Amino acid sequence: MTSQQKDTLFILVKSLSKSEKRQFKLYVNRLGVNADAKFLALFNLLDKMHDYKEAEILKSGIVKKQQLSNLKAHLYKQILVSLRLNPVNQNIRLQIREQLDFATILYHKGLYKQSLKILDKAKSLAIENQEKVVAYEIVELEKVIETQYITRSISGRADELAIQAKELSMQNVLTSKLSNLSLQLYGIMLKFGYVKSDEEYKWVTEYYKSHLPTFKVSELDFREKLWLYKAQLWYSFLIQDFLSCYKYSLRWVELFYENEQMIYLNPVFFLKGNNYLLESMFYVKNRRGFREALQKLEHIVTDDKFPKNDNLEVLIFHYKYSSKINLHFLEGTFEEGLHLEKEIIDGIKLHSDKLDEHHIMVLYYKIACLYFGVGNNKKCISYLKKIIDNKNLTMREDLMCFARVLSLVAHYEAGMDYHLEVQLKSTYKFLLKMNDLHEVQKEMIKFLRNLGEIFPSQLKDEFKKLHATLKKYENHPYEKRAFLYLDIISWLESNIQNRPVGEIIKEKAKELVR
């Protein structure tokens, strides 16, 4: 039986707002013949269901089993058509596409001049809004009409269209190369995380340089610049050059502020750029800039002009709460950050059909770190267990690795060390399997393994030794990533000084001048 999670029609119906459901029924009932239509009856039944149950649909007598698949497909299409007509979902991109469709219909009816008139207006709108792919499609249709029929629209029309087509084609090729590079670097980041050695650094750098197309920055438009900054950002993330991450993510965001209409036409890219800017400022510990950027973003997304849809709601939820927790990490205000837990868990439940699995796990890890910061190690362990036990998580291997290391530390802090040796072996094997065993992790595991042989009176000295050892790696090009996931240095200092870790981080935050 198809589950609620897998039945796409059921998920689509349940995603509709009250106004969208009302719009759909008005759209269907515009024709009196649809009043008793089977697909409308199926819609009403699915709308009332809490869980998808095929047996209940068949029992209703609306449709026979062999016809159910076709009826569901028809209903799915009708809902999409209704959503497309909904004013809420209208934007420049859809308007241009609609004009292209109208022009194509007129062309097939032999009304060539009318078709060309609409195409010319649509093309201007497309170029003005950097929609160059559809602009190229429009030019190609104009060429078909002009070459097949004598319109005498303007002299030199053939040369004009040929030049436009060539320019748009070259721009689209450059955009495609830059977007491909950005996507491929992002894929490497998700799968493997940051570079871990000189060998990986060399491989990533050669890959980046060999796939970066030739261009002049002064000749790039909004779209090309956007993909260029994305590619530069992901390369900088991979090699852990966080100052460059800050530089390119800032250029990305400023590009939108310089072209304000693009914020509302490309809200997803605007949100992502802000997310990477906030993440970069977190890594370089730019506390003041972080707070200002987060406040500015929250102000814009609540503005009436900012588009509203389910996809944007999910992105805003994830970026907003991930950044809010990061701000508490920067300031060492772990206790104050705990109030976010309920809002985050409620948000995960609300958006469970649309949130990526690895994004949910990242939020769990951040909540775990909040609890670790206030000394509630059992709650920390319970959240880390959700990550460690997740067999479906194929991305963010680095997150899986550090969740296990933090779990070891939390078990020790909680006094739950009766199975520590088994956990140490399991973690060690996992890190070896992931090819993710680094010096910081080796030293942590060695320290925890030797705890049983250390007298209580010697413990503080051992903490001091480990602190001195790990301090050397704090700015190491490949080891420093360990400190992005867990502030081990501050944890050691809290044990050495017998003070809460949050207090230590607060003091460090006050010293930051950025």
Give the DSSP letter of residue 33. G
**What's the farthest any 2 CA atoms get from each other in the chain?**
97
357's CB contacts (< 8 A; 6+ apart) are: 390, 392, 393, 395
Percent of the chain's residues with pLDDT above 90: 33
Identify whether 133 is part of a domain.
yes
Give the count of domains, the chain: 3
71's CB contacts (< 8 A; 6+ apart) are: 38, 39, 42, 62, 63
Do 107 and 143 reside in the same domain of the chain?
A: yes
Average pLDDT over residues 326-333: 88
Cα(458)–Cα(283) distance, rounded to whole angstroms? 34
Give tens-digit pLDDT for 140-154. Answer: 888 888 777 655 555
Give tens-digit pLDDT for 266-296. Answer: 999 999 999 999 999 998 888 889 999 999 9
Q: Residue 232 above 70 pLDDT?
A: yes
Do 440 and 505 reside in the same domain of the chain?
A: yes
What pLDDT was estimated at residue 410? 83
**Residue whose token pair is 């963010």:** 396
Amino acid at 322: S
How confident is residue 389, by pLDDT bands cut at 50, 70 and 90?
confident
Q: Residue 127 above 70 pLDDT?
A: yes
Cα(52)–Cα(435) distance, rounded to whole angstroms? 42
Do 79 and 118 reside in the same domain of the chain?
A: no
Do 290 and 278 touch, CB atoms closer than 8 A? yes
Do 136 and 85 reside in the same domain of the chain?
A: no
Cα(222)–Cα(230) distance, rounded to whole angstroms? 12
Highest mean pLDDT among 28-37, 46-55, 84-93, 250-259: 250-259
174-188, 209-223, 430-444: the lowest-pLDDT one: 430-444
Cα(290)–Cα(288) distance, rounded to whole angstroms? 5
Cα(174)–Cα(136) distance, rounded to whole angstroms? 14
Q: Residue 431 above 80 pLDDT?
A: no
Do 85 and 141 reside in the same domain of the chain?
A: no
What pLDDT was estimated at residue 420? 62
- The 3-state DSSP class for residue 481 equals coil
Do 427 and 504 reside in the same domain of the chain?
A: yes
Q: Residue 395 above 60 pLDDT?
A: no
Identify whether 126 is part of a domain.
yes
Identify whether 252 is part of a domain.
no
Do 125 and 69 reside in the same domain of the chain?
A: no
Highest mean pLDDT among 22-36, 186-200, 297-311: 297-311
Domain ranges, residue 438: 397-513
Do 118 and 14 reside in the same domain of the chain?
A: no
Do 49 and 145 reside in the same domain of the chain?
A: no
Do 375 and 500 touch, CB atoms closer than 8 A? yes
Average pLDDT over residues 60-84: 89
Rounded to two decimals, what is the model's pTM?
A: 0.77
Do 306 and 261 touch, CB atoms closer than 8 A? no
Q: Residue 322 above 90 pLDDT?
A: yes
Identify whether 351 is part of a domain.
no
- Which of 176, 209, 237 delimits the end of a domain? 176
Do 437 and 424 touch, CB atoms closer than 8 A? no
Identify whether 367 is part of a domain.
no
What pLDDT was estimated at residue 74? 92
Do 428 and 500 reside in the same domain of the chain?
A: yes
370: Cα within 13 Å, side-chain hemisphere: 24
Residue 66 CA to its chain's centroid (Å): 40
- Which of 89, 115, 134 delimits the end of a domain? 89
Give the DSSP letter of residue 62. S
Identify whether 112 is part of a domain.
yes
Do 44 and 133 reside in the same domain of the chain?
A: no
Cα(347)–Cα(317) distance, rounded to whole angstroms? 7
Q: What is the mean pLDDT of the chain?
A: 84
Residue 384 CA to its chain's centroid (Å): 21
> Is 419 or 333 the better-scoring residue by pLDDT?
333
Nearest to 83 by CA among 9, 11, 14, 24: 24
Average pLDDT over residues 392-417: 72
Cα(253)–Cα(226) distance, rounded to whole angstroms? 9
What pLDDT was estimated at residue 145? 83
Burial 384-398, CB ≥16 within 10 A → b, else e: beebbebeebebbbb
Cα(216)–Cα(221) distance, rounded to whole angstroms? 11
Identify whether 102 is part of a domain.
yes
DSSP per-residue codes, 147-171 = HHS----STTHHHHHHHHHHHHHHH
Identify whether 209 is part of a domain.
no
Helices (DSSP H) in 193-309: which residue ranges?
A: 198-211, 222-238, 242-258, 260-265, 267-283, 287-301
Give tens-digit pLDDT for 420-430. Answer: 666 666 766 66
How confident is residue 485, by pLDDT bands cut at 50, 70 and 90?
low
Retrieve residue 265's tokens: 């036409």
Do 72 and 103 reside in the same domain of the chain?
A: no
- Which of 50, 69, 89 delimits the end of a domain? 89
What is the radius of gyration, based on Cα positions, of the chain? 28
